[in-house]
Amino acid sequence: MIKLPKLKVHKKEMADDEGILYLLYVQHEGCKLVKIGITKRPTVVDRVLEIIAGYYKSYRIFPEVYPKRHKRTTMVFKKEAILHEYYRSSKVEFDKHFGGCTEFFRIDDEERLLEVYQRVLDGEDIKVDDSEGEV
């Protein structure tokens, strides 16, 4: 058995609940979708490249991807969960699986999306009134 040397990776230390909360626009079969996700990587670029590679492996084409918003924040898992819950009725399911494929949504109101994203980043607890679909 051959033993490989351990690689040293220099990463900025991050608290367990700290990360980047991002919104990506992705074109899929003529539809503009939004991926709401998080990454612990130093920048969102590495995560975007992983998503593109995973998508390519499943669909054999490269998607058009545009990072709309991304910000380092604390309580990143909670904030992502709030956004996923808020947009749960807009969730998209793919027929093929790739990394991150469960976090896509079809959201037409970009202005509202950006407002809700900022409010969540600011620590507001967003709730959906199911009868009206508003915050």
pLDDT digits 0-9 by tens, 40-78: 999 999 999 999 999 999 999 999 999 999 999 999 999
Residue with more model confidence, 91 or 13: 91
Any domain includes 84: yes
Q: Is residue 27 part of a domain?
A: yes
| Residue 23 domain flag | yes
CB 99 within 8 A of CB 54: yes
pLDDT value at position 129? 57
Q: What band does 102 get if pLDDT is binned at 50, 70 and 90?
A: confident
Beta strand extents in the chain (DSSP E only): 19-28, 31-39, 65-73, 104-105
Residue 109 is predicted with a pLDDT of 95
CA distance 7 to 50: 20
Residue 15 has pLDDT above 60, yes or no: no
Q: Per the structure, how many domains does the chain have?
A: 1
More confident of the two residues 133 and 25: 25
- Residue 79: which residues within 8 A CB-CB, separation 6 or more? 21, 73, 120, 121
Tell me the average pLDDT across 9-28. Answer: 76
pLDDT, averaged across the chain: 85
Note whether residue 109 is domain-resident: yes
- Rg of the chain over Cα atoms, rounded to whole angstroms, equals 17
Domain that holds residue 106: 19-121
- Two structure tokens written together for 73: 């924040």
In-domain check, residue 128: no
Q: What is the pLDDT of residues 72-98, one digit of tens each?
A: 999 999 999 999 999 999 999 989 988
Domain-embedded: residue 59: yes
